[in-house]
Copies of this chain bind each other. A is one copy, B any other.
C-alpha cells in the first residue's frame, strides 16, 4: 500500500505561531545544540576540514502532495543533501532547515516533515542543529548539510577522474524517475513495483559509502541527482576526460522493464535521464570498493586521442556510442 498525501486537518501555523512551530520542529528532530543565534559544532577529529552544501525543495516544483508524504519528503530532503556530502568522501555531521509555508498550513505537515528529517539524520548519528521558519505564499524548504572531511587524502571532486580508471556506482539507477512516472500516471500501481515508488519518495543512501570509496582510493565522485548522463557528463567535462558506460552494467532491470511496459515508456530513458536516485558514482584505479559495482571506464578526451569520430567528441558514451537519451533536470525549464 503506497502512502501519499499531506495532512489537511488540525491547527495551522498561523494559529499556533512561530514559537510553537519551532518547538514542534525541535520536538520532532531534537538536538542539544539547537536554540541559540547559531549552533556550535565540534570537529570530530583534529584538523578535519568542513564540507558544506545546500539544496532547496519547492512545492509544485520538486514534489506534489499527491505523490508523496511530508515524512518521506523530509527524509528525501536530507538524503539529497547528504549525498552531496558523501560525494566528497566526507561524513555528514549536522543539518540546518529553513522553511517557508503559508500560515494556513496544518502544523501536522511541518511536524511530519521534521520527523522525516530526524529519522534520516538519526541513521547518520547527526542532528538538526538550527533553522528558520517564516510565512510565505508557497511551501519552500531549504536544507543545508555540514560534513567533516578527516585524514590527509583530498576530497573526491568533479575534477578528479583520470584516464585508465574504472567508473563505479553504489545504488539503483533510474528507479526514482520510474517511480515518479508511475505515481503521476494515476494508474493502480502493482505491489511488485513499489520499490520504484519508494525510490522516488525517499531514496536510500547507505551512510559511509563516500568514506569507503575515498578510503579505497577513489579520486572523483558525484551523485545522480539531475540525471545519469547529465551528472556523469559534468564529471567527465570537469575532469577533462571521456567516460564510457557499459550497457550491461546499467541496463534496466526486471522492475524497470515491467514499469516501462505498463506505461509504454522505454526504460532506458529513466536510466539515462532520470535523476534523484542519489546514487554515488565515482572513479578509481583498481577494483570496485565494497558496496560499489563497476559501470564503465575513463578515457582520454577526443582532443588528446586525435580521434574525430562523433562518439569521441561527446563526454559520455555507452558501449562506445553516443547515447540516445541525454536530457537532464533543468531548474528553470
Interface residue ranges, A against B (CB under 8 Å): 13-14, 16-18, 21, 35-43, 46-56, 58, 60-62, 83-85, 87-88, 90, 94, 96-100, 103, 129-138, 140, 142, 144-147, 149, 155, 157-159, 221-223, 238, 330-333
Contact present for B53 and A39 (CB under 8 Å):
yes
Asked whether A40 lies within 8 Å of B36 as measured between CB atoms, the reply is no
Interface contact A37-B223, CB-CB below 8 Å:
yes
Please give, as numbers and ranges, the residues of chain B lying within 8 Å of A88 by CB-CB distance.
36-38, 40
**B58 in contact with A136 (CB, 8 Å):** yes
| CB < 8 Å neighbour of A147 from B14, B38, B47, B84 | B38
Q: Distance in Å from the Cβ of A303 to the closest Cβ of chain B? A: 22
B144 and A56: CB pair below 8 A? no
Contact indicator A52/B146 (Cβ below 8 Å): yes
A132 touches B56 (CB 8 A): yes
From B42, B140, B142, B158, give the contact of A49 (CB < 8 A). Answer: B42
B-chain residues with CB within 8 Å of residue A157 when the two chains form the complex? 36
- A145 B38 Cβ-Cβ under 8 A: yes
Chain B positions within 8 Å of A136 at CB level: 58, 60-61, 138, 140
Given A43-B47, A88-B38, A149-B40, A58 contacting B144 (CB threshold 8 A): no
Q: Which 7 A-B pairs have the closest CB atoms?
A: A38-B53, A142-B142, A37-B87, A18-B331, A37-B84, A56-B98, A98-B142
Instruction: List the B side residues contacting A133 at CB < 8 Å.
Output: 331-332
Given contacts A50-B50, A142-B98, contact A38 B332 (CB under 8 A): no
Q: Is the CB of A52 within 8 A of B17?
A: no
Residues from chain B with a CB closer than 8 A to the CB of A158 are 35-37
Contact A52 B144 (CB under 8 A): yes
